[in-house]
Amino acid sequence: DIQMTQSPSTLSASVGDRVTITCRASQSINTWLAWYQQKPGKAPKLLMYEASSLESGVPSRFSGSGSGTEFTLTISSLQPDDFATYYCQQYHSYSPGWTFGQGTKVEIK
């Protein structure tokens, strides 16, 4: 099974900060990684796919990088609308199923 581990679990930041979230896979997944944003009581929203491709309509302050086992999601200048929980998901191997990281909550400092 492929395990996905995110760090940190919680991140306190201020508006305007540069924020980086890390996702590590237990084995290589090439670039088959997606990132989602979820706000309380809402469904997840796709932000990035194939590790670094920005989903249509997502602000350009979001960027993704990485390959193999280590990946990052970066928000270049944190905005009030960005306070949420972020999840990574691998879709390289049926593990079984498509596994998610445990989530990173970005909260107001």
**Would you tell me which residues interact with another protein (CB under 8 A)?**
32, 34, 36, 38, 42-46, 49, 55, 87, 89, 91-94, 96-103
Shortest distance (Å) from residue 103 CB to another protein? 5
Full strand arrangement of the beta sheet holding 45-49: 10-13, 104-108, 85-90, 33-38, 45-49, 53-54
Shortest distance (Å) from residue 15 CB to another protein? 26
Shortest distance (Å) from residue 95 CB to another protein? 9
Q: Which is nearer to another protein, 19 or 36 (CB)?
A: 36
Shortest distance (Å) from residue 19 CB to another protein? 19
Q: Which is nearer to another protein, 17 or 24 (CB)?
A: 24
User: Residue 88 has which token pair?
Assistant: 């990574």
Residues 6+ apart with CB under 8 A from 80: 15
Q: Which is nearer to another protein, 45 or 61 (CB)?
A: 45
Give the span between the Cα atoms of 90 and 106, in whole angstroms.
21
Q: Which is nearer to another protein, 34 or 73 (CB)?
A: 34
Asked if 97 contacts 57 with a C-beta cutoff of 8 angstroms, the reply is: no
Q: How many CA atoms lie within 13 A of 94 on its CB side?
A: 0
